[in-house]
Structure 1
Amino acid sequence: MPEAARGTAASGATIELENLSKRYPGNPNPAVDNVSMEIRAGETVILVGPSGCGKSTTLRMINRLIEPSSGRIRINGEDVTDMDPVKLRRKIGYAIQSSGLFPHMTVAENIALVPKMTGWPKAKVKDRVEEMLDLVGLDPREFHGRYPRQLSGGQQQRVGVARALAADPPVLLMDEPFGAVDPITRDHLQDELIRLQHDLHKTIVFVTHDFDEAIKLGDRIAVLRERSHIAQFDTPEAILTNPADDFVSGFVGAGAALKRLNLTRVREVEIADFPTVSVDDPLQTIFNRLRGGLHNELLMLDRRGRPYKWLRRGDLMRAKGSLARAGHLVHDTVTRDATLHDALEAVLIDSAGRVAVTGRRGEYIGVVDMETLLNSVHEMLEADRLTAVEHRHDLEELRHHRTEAELEGGAGG
């Protein structure tokens, strides 16, 4: 088991931003104006806001890639504003869009970069590289010697996260790290980050312009106006159900109840069993399973136990008994850390109304179907309705008490 998963990794650190500002010469208005924020150790905080609001500038001031014009930054109570910025950055993981890997270095060399700079022994660096690759779901034997150009976009991003975590920093800064990959890969990378954070408990500050991503990943979300003024800093649930003002409501957008699907994970609902066969099973065995089972369909797994094809009873007959031509390829899967929004999207695309759930290596775990997801949606909508009723009741009581107090005040006058 990886060292981080055993609980021996460095835990997160508190971050305090105090009156942090950034001014650029020639511009009368600050890019970031007097931002104060407290981030708890081990939580994931998302900075979200419109383009140009200063969210990336705020993030980069934490590791002083951009020097603050004024204000203080404290990490675990230590003022880092006057610390050597190079030493500071070695203690803070940093992951960006398009991974930022050095193209002339192998995967292993990229991951080993910061541990080597901080003076780790060679043997420890080598072990750490393998550990990090395993942690982000890449086989060390397969990826150790590859160059970034030989990787897919999603694999590059995984290596970028592995490099950011390699020196075991308590803080991880992420600047739109999944913005340049396709939607399906992005969903899986988000799931992977949730799984990693569940094991590692780092303090993560994550910049995005995508509010759905913010809901999915964040323990708390800071919705930022121009110059990084904080419009609301709260939990995803609180922002969805009680936005602070019209600006936040506009950023949340329509369908707040459905956006709550991003707050529930697949692991929190029933993952059902489904009959499976292997590509190595004899054809007659597969025929018998299809004829004798309660289902008129099977899920065929590849040699690594990953979902490969959906097989129906008529498929083998129409394909004249050939497995190569039979069935329908599995185009989408979800992990246990995927949201119900991800699962619902996958189910709606699939004509049979279900999606396979997989583990970190892509291995088959079970299925989630439309009925399960619709029941969850109905439960959420009912919970929202009850909350709204309680909120109206509280407001009516408050108005009633104010009216009584005003009447008593008038009588007393």
Structure 2
Amino acid sequence: MPDASASAPSAPGPSAPGPETSGGDSPSVGATIELEGLTKQYPGSALPAVDNVTMDFKEGETVILVGPSGCGKSTLLKMINRLIEPTAGRIRIGGEDVTDMDPVRLRRKIGYAIQASGLFPHMTVAQNIALVPKMLRWPSARVRARVEEMLDLVGLDPGEFHGRYPRQLSGGQQQRVGVARALAADPPVLLMDEPFGAVDPITRDHLQDELIRLQRELHKTIVFVTHDFDEAIKLGDRIAVLRERSHIAQFDTPEAILTNPSDDFVSGFVGAGAALKRLNLSRVRDVEITEYPTVNVDDPLQDIFDRLRSGGTNEVLVLDKQGRPYKWLRRGDMMRAKGSLARAGTLVNDTVTRDATLRDALEAVLTDNTGRVAVTGRRGAYEGVVDVETLMNSVHELLEADRLEAREAQHELQEQRASQTHAEQEGFGGEAKA
């Protein structure tokens, strides 16, 4: 947890955007990042932690740094905002060389989100998010509006969460507030160091979906560190697979790495089941989302029973007071209702958003044993369902595409070998005649 006594501009938790991003109403978009020969050599170490790394990140893209523990990926990330000073090399953001810029001024252009959120425990949610805008002397009304906007952006009800303290939040809620704080002053660059690594798998999936949604709206340049290759595939426009000392093994799109890993080291990260991993490249929004019969938790039991009996369906989805999926309810469950839905039906264990991957959706369907998964929007509101048949059809299409690609590659290889053999025979015949 950050030291409350630390000066806010230099603390690693909240980034401190400066006058460049504080005044206008027009939101900033991403900025290019160029790393040239970036190196970090710690005193007393025989080898550098990061060795001569040169990379370019495009404006508005999400780049994932993935590699084994100790390969220097977090060190590389922290050199971009100079929480760790490089020993050698250059850093350019938006074309501006920031290597020798005052590091506090540099961090005013960069958002920073870390594992376990790094929220100040003695401040409310609103105070945490407002910290940097207040430092920049934004007008009070603008600060209040920005806090409300940021909470809504990350899917938290401002009225419910405004006055809470970090200890009163779940891990996933804390991470959302951490992202809101990093974005509060609208920096063009967002650095994220394993921000979802400390939460449970279901919460992590939903946080990943939220980040995808946010990026679609904001178009920041995001550099994201993870050790989880599945997370890298899901989130990244491009992935940099790093060896020891952050040497680049492969820097390409997720699909290119899955289908054509550069060597055995990268293949080790891809692992088995590359075809199934490609389900992380497709989103729920890419397949058919269908309607499903719904009722509200406050509806009279007789109305729900009549809906089940006359609606041509054996099951309905019960929505809570906020319109979120609550329970799957079958006709037979009504016999156990006894005047209340509290003991009737099966709780909805998991949902997915339109930004979830097809792999997330398939896992949710198989875990829930209902043959379908509810799709939700902002703040968990119900939007429809995706069924197992739709998902399995997508799996079969991917597998068939992989088989076709493999056959084409084999055919091309055979043609190359035949051509090479023919050329060798022609050459041998020419030598014999001579």
TM range (shorter): over 0.9
Q: Which amino acid aligns with 1:188?
A: H
Q: For 1:384, which of 402, 405, 408 is the aligned residue?
A: 402
Deviations 1:333-376 (A, max 9, x none): 11111111111111001222111111121111111111011000
Report how far residue 125 of structure 1 moved. 1.8
Report how far residue 129 of structure 1 moved. 1.1
1 CA distance for matches of 2:28 and 2:411?
46
Q: For residue 408 of structure 2, give the secondary structure of its aligned residue in structure 1.
A: helix
Deviations 1:242-277 (A, max 9, x none): 110000001111111111111111111111111011
Which residue in 1 is equivalent to 2:251? 233
2 CA distance for matches of 1:17 and 1:407?
50
Which residue in 2 is equivalent to 1:140? 158
Map 1:172-251; keep pairs closer than 5 Å.
172-251=190-269
Q: Is the 8 A contact 1:316 1:322 kept in 2?
A: no
Report how far residue 309 of structure 1 moved. 1.0
Deviations 1:362-391 (A, max 9, x none): 111111111011000001111111112222
1:130 aligns with 2:130: no
Which residue in 1 is equivalent to 2:276? 258
Which residue in 2 is equivalent to 1:277? 295
1 CA distance for matches of 2:177 and 2:336?
44
Q: For residue 118 of structure 2, give the secondary structure of its aligned residue in structure 1.
A: coil
Which residue in 2 is equivalent to 1:399? 417
Report how far residue 406 of structure 1 moved. 4.1
Q: Is the 8 A contact 2:114 2:193 kept in 1?
A: yes
2 CA distance for matches of 1:72 and 1:409?
52
Q: For 2:179, which of 161, 175, 183 is the aligned residue?
A: 161
Deviations 1:60-90 (A, max 9, x none): 0000000000011111111100001001111
1:41 aligns with 2:59: yes
1:81 aligns with 2:99: yes
TM-score, length basis structure 1: 0.96
Q: For 1:119, which of 137, 149, 159 is the aligned residue?
A: 137
Q: Which amino acid aligns with 2:259?
A: T
Deviations 1:37-68 (A, max 9, x none): 11110000000010000000000000000000
Q: Percent same amino acid among aligned pairs?
A: 81
**Structure 2: 5+ residue stretches without partners:** 1-24
1 CA distance for matches of 2:239 and 2:423?
37
1 CA distance for matches of 2:416 and 2:96?
44
1 CA distance for matches of 2:37 and 2:428?
44
Aligned length: 407
Deviations 1:12-49 (A, max 9, x none): 11111111110001111100011111111000000001
Q: Which amino acid aligns with 2:151?
A: L
Report how far residue 407 of structure 1 moved. 4.3
Q: Which amino acid aligns with 2:416?
A: L
RMSD: 1.4
- Call closer, same or farther: CA 1:322–1:105 in 2, change over 3 Å: closer
Q: Is the 8 A contact 2:239 2:252 kept in 1?
A: yes
Q: Which amino acid aligns with 1:71?
A: G
Q: For 1:52, which of 61, 67, 70 is the aligned residue?
A: 70
Q: Is the 8 A contact 1:90 1:114 kept in 2?
A: no
Q: For residue 361 of structure 1, give the secondary structure of its aligned residue in structure 2.
A: helix
Q: For 1:288, which of 306, 312, 335 is the aligned residue?
A: 306
1 CA distance for matches of 2:233 and 2:239?
8
Q: Is the 8 A contact 2:120 2:128 kept in 1?
A: yes
Which residue in 2 is equivalent to 1:370? 388
1:28 aligns with 2:28: no
1:332 aligns with 2:360: no
